[in-house]
């Protein structure tokens, strides 16, 4: 039978798209399905962060995961996700009536990691710039990058870079901690809860 014709069964003609969806469901949803679903749920989770307690967020995300999978069995994954709406609006509907004064743990961790990444990119760029000068001029050079001692050398025997001092550990960690505290509003952990 030509694949462009609709297949017939006991109930009449069947839609080829519905048959394809049934085949996809029976084989498993696959990595692409899981990746798109989890990306959508991550966005919802970020908007729920700080507005809904952790346990409740997990329950909401598990329910949404089950809803998306059930709808994807009937419709396409895109239709299932579109039916739920924008992540911000969906999260707002679940967060109605909750306090907006919670700690933003996820945002704090993301900000801390971003601060570390920026610090190390700038530090490595600074060090490689020093190494370039050392390679052209030859010899050994030392400098400071945000309280960290930086050493580079380029001799006939080889080239090298190094960082030393206690600041090599405490400065990036302090920077990450400041980014975490500022973004997450961590001081809200210590506020009194109404009885």
3-state secondary structure 61-84: HHHHHHHHHHHHHHCCHHHHHHHH
Exposure b/e, 94-114, CB count within 10 A at least 16 = b: bbeeeeeebbbbbbbebbbee
> What are the residue boundaries of the structural domains of the chain, listed by start?
26-95, 105-190
Residues (pLDDT < 70) of the chain are 1-28, 97-103, 186-195
For residue 105, what pLDDT is reported?
A: 74
Helices H / strands E in the chain, number of each? 7, 5
Helix 30-48 × helix 105-137 angle, to 10°: 110
For residue 190, what pLDDT is reported?
A: 60
Torsion-angle region of residue 144: left (phi > 0), alpha (psi -120 to 50) or beta?
beta
Report pTM.
0.54
For residue 106, what pLDDT is reported?
A: 77
β-partners of residue 96 are: none
């Amino acid at each position: 039978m030509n694949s462009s014709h609709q297949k017939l069964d006991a109930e009449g003609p069947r839609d080829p798209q519905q048959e394809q969806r049934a085949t996809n469901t029976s084989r498993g949803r696959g990595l692409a399905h899981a990746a798109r679903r989890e990306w959508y749920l991550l966005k919802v989770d970020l908007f729920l962060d700080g507005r809904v307690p952790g346990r409740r967020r997990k329950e909401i995300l598990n329910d949404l995961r089950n809803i998306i999978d059930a709808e994807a069995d009937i419709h396409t994954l895109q239709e299932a996700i579109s039916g739920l709406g924008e992540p911000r609006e969906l999260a707002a509907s679940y967060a109605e009536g909750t306090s907006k004064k919670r700690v933003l743990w996820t945002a704090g961790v993301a900000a801390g990691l971003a601060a570390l990444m920026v610090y190390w990119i700038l530090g490595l760029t600074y060090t490689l710039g020093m190494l370039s000068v050392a390679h052209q001029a030859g010899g050994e050079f030392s400098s400071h990058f945000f309280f960290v001692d930086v050493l580079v050398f380029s001799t006939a025997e080889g080239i090298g870079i190094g960082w030393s001092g206690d600041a090599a550990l405490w400065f990036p960690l302090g920077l990450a901690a400041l980014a975490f505290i500022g973004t997450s509003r961590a001081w809200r952990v210590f506020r009194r809860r109404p009885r």
